[in-house]
Amino acid sequence: MGRRHGPYRITRGRMSLLSALISPEPPGSRPMTATATTRGSGTDVRLTGISKTYGAFTAVHPLDLSVPAGSFFALLGASGCGKTTTLRMIAGLEDPTTGTVELAGKNVTALPPYKRPVNTVFQSYALFPHLDIYENVAFGLRRRGVKSVKKQVEEMLELVQLGDLARRRPQQLSGGQQQRVAVARALINHPDVLLLDEPLGALDLKLRRQMQLELKRIQTEVGITFIHVTHDQEEAMTMADTVAVMNAGRVEQLGAPADLYETPRTTFVANFLGTSNLITADVLGTAGDDILLRAGDTKLTLPATRSTAPARTGEKLLVGIRPEKITLTHADDAGTIADGRNRVTGRIAQSSFTGVSTQYLVDSSVATGLSVYAQNVERDGRLVPGAEVVLHWNPGHSFGLDAAQNVEAGTDVEAEGAG
Amino acid sequence: MSTVTTPVSTPHDEPARRTRRVPYWLLLPGILWLLVFFVAPLVYQASTSVQTGSLEDGFRVTWHFATYWDALSEYYPQFLRSVAYGATATALCLLLGYPLAYLIAFRAGRWRNLLMVLVIAPFFTSFLIRTLAWKTILSDGGPVVSALGSLHVLGLTDALGVTEGHRVLATPLAVVCGLTYNFLPFMILPLYTSLERIDGRLHEAAGDLYARPLTVFRKVTFPLSMPGVVAGTLLTFIPATGDYINAELLGSTDQKMIGNVIQSQFLRVLDYPTAAALSFILMAAILTMVTVYIRKSGTEDVV
């Protein structure tokens, strides 16, 4: 399992505080070469046909998932989508109904949690209330029979800046401090895989941002495989290399955050990850590499490569476009719009100023309530509710989806709580 | 114990002052109750314990503290026996009650409420009736004696001195069993309450941190249930030590506990000073033991 018990060199300043403690380099040993890559190369996690049913309810449909060693992997989804259940099956806290869990090619499906080289940062931390911070952090080491935990624990506590609070009880700490204890308690064991179950859910926005960056930096520097469960799409996109979007016990789409955002393959992903305008259009035919469509009385084009659904003449297709990719021009200036862009005329129904941008809702003949985000660079004073406008965008920025899906999927999912 | 801060008020904030006084008014009925039914009898007993005289001549306060010494030197075997029986019954209650409370709290699922009702069910019948029923159950020709006899257990218990002459009734075993039976719910209820409050995720976290199931119990479950253990042992030990019904009904003169002595001093011998002195000694002994116990178990904040 490749555990490392050695003490850690504290290289504060150069590295982040939290991550320095995972550096397995013992003091005085020969300097390691190619530190970032050889240091903790992590372990790959492979789920094969894994599923979980509770009576008649299927929490997770059989799914295959491969998490490459050393990656920061996020399971993203609304509450009840099966993401936490999947995580718990990796930890061994839940027995899969079918399928297998492999860590570094070794089948661990039958192993109880205490025999798996993984550690979990639990939602709301699950710190032991009867033990002080020191003993909470030392718990894993003591269970594995490590004799002298003092040095490791003290270094760990100092590094998470909780050295002064070692003898406090968890309930005497703030949420952010408890979160750091939870991370320290898991990381001190040098797990092959670190599982994080909504670890930042209880923190306020500012602290959450700070911890997101901190966790991301630790992961990048030590290369332990992180599997992070979250309902916060922004958090998943900020931190993860790969995001698996889950919905109703299935993985809807898996990929790099930018790919998921730019080219969603389902309406759920399009709506859950950010906001999408989805326009139902009739396929008129194709011209070269473009699909020609009509929505209402408006003609649209879409590059065929941007559509995940086949375009058959006479059938319908959903054209998706992100609000920030639409430009809003007052109808009087319609002549200034460049050729080759999709244009939709409409009337501003609502506008709200959010500082960085202004968000408009535009009613048009193709759809009501189209969202448009405009950067507040040079604000056009005429763009007020009631104004006649032209929405236009580069066809290459839109995407095509199968029209057989529910257009509303993923729009108003309850995003709080456990998944 | 929380400290009560005296409200500071000026004549100007009359409504605020009235609001602050509300807690004291709410305390009043309880305080009156305690004054009439606890403090007054206590003072009366205290004065009785230092009186001398007889029923015919009347008793007079003579500050005769020697009664305490005389009572203790005469009845110390019953004191020691009471503590031994009470402690044994408490230990048995803990051994029997803990697994049951654990089962109800963590494993019972939908049977949980039914099991809790079953634990409380004996309270629907009088303490006295239930103990009398045990007299029948443990009687010489009864099912327990014949079962234990055929299994040759009675020979062993005879050798250990907890039974005598191949009978169970009128032996220490009968009294301790009666005490255990009667006070078991007082052990189970606080244990269950504190076990049930333990967050299941702590067990998972311990397992995740390489603790085997037994270690999870030793390092997480049991320490977290300590408030229940302390409350349960106190609720069992205190009344069991002072109990006289079980020794009266299930024991013989050789199993008399201090409760029986006090009862007979009051009601049969009519030696009120001795009875009062014995009561005070018992109270002091239990208070001392309980204080030491709470200090040792480190749960002062809990009780």
Is A282 in the same domain as A134?
no
Q: Give tens-digit pLDDT for B81-114.
A: 999 999 999 999 999 999 999 999 999 989 999 9
In chain A, positions 39-98, which contact chain B (CB-CB < 8 Å)? 91-93
Domain boundary pick from A262, A287, A320 = A262
Q: Which has the closest alpha carbon to B290: B235, B215, B224, B216? A: B235
Q: Do A112 and B207 touch (CB under 8 A)?
A: yes
Same domain for A295 and A390: yes
pLDDT score, position A19:
47
Same domain assignment for residues A147 and A280: no
Q: What is the pLDDT of residue B163?
A: 86
Does a structural domain hold residue A395? yes
**Residue ranges making up the domain that contains A220:** 20-262
User: Exposed, middle or buried by CB within 10 Å (0-12, 13-18, 19+), for B226?
Assistant: middle
Residue A218 has pLDDT above 80, yes or no: no
To the nearest whole Å, the CA of B249 is away from the closest chain A CA by: 44
Q: Is A345 inside any structural domain?
A: yes
Give B48 to chain A, closest Cα distance, Å. 47
Question: Do A89 and A233 reside in the same domain of the chain?
Answer: yes
Report yes or no on A417 lying in a domain: no
Q: Do B67 and B49 meet the contact criterion of CB atoms below 8 Å apart? A: yes
In a domain, A138, yes or no: yes
Pair A126, A59 in one domain: yes
Q: Is the residue at A5 inside a domain? A: no
Count of beta carbons in the 10 Å neighbourhood of residue B106: 15
Q: Which pLDDT score is estimated for A267?
A: 93
Q: Check whether residue A114 and residue A154 sit in a common domain.
A: yes
Q: Report yes or no for ipTM above 0.85.
A: no
Distance CA B15, CA B33 (A): 29
Q: Which residue has the tokens 């801060």?
A: B5
Q: Is residue B228 within 8 Å of B194, Cβ to Cβ?
A: yes
Are A166 and A239 members of one domain?
yes
Any domain includes A3: no
> Residue A41 — pLDDT band, cuts 50, 70, 90?
low
Query: Does one domain contain both A246 and A285?
Result: no
- Alpha carbon distance B303, B296 (integer Å): 13
Assess if residue A181 is contained within a domain: yes
Does one domain contain both A254 and A290?
Answer: no
CATH number of the domain residue A85 falls in? 3.40.50.300
Task: Flag if A122 and B204 touch (Cβ within 8 Å).
Answer: yes
Distance from CA of A118 to the nearest CA of B (A): 7
Dig out the tokens for B202 from the structure.
Answer: 């702590």
Q: What is the total count of domains within chain A?
A: 2
Q: What is the CATH number of the domain that holds A339?
A: 2.40.50.100
Q: How far apart are CA A234 and CA A41, in angstroms?
A: 27
Whether A183 and A304 share a structural domain: no
All residues of chain A having their beta carbon less than 8 Å from the beta carbon of residue B219 are 139
pLDDT in tens, B261-303: 999 999 998 899 999 999 999 999 999 999 999 888 865 444 3
From the list B204, B224, B226, which residue is nearest A93 (CB)?
B204
Residue B251 CA to residue B229 CA, distance in Å, equals 28
- What's the CATH class of domain B75-297? mainly alpha
**Pair A198, A49 in one domain:** yes
Q: What predicted TM-score, i.e. pTM, was given to this entire model?
A: 0.78
CB of B156 within 8 Å of a chain A CB? The answer is no
Which chain A residue shows the shortest CA-CA distance from B223? A130
Question: Residue A346 burial by CB count (10 A; 0-12/13-18/19+): exposed, middle or buried?
Answer: buried
Q: Which residue does chain B place closest to A128, by CA atoms?
A: B202
User: Are A167 and A282 members of one domain?
Assistant: no
Domain end among A217, A239, A262 = A262
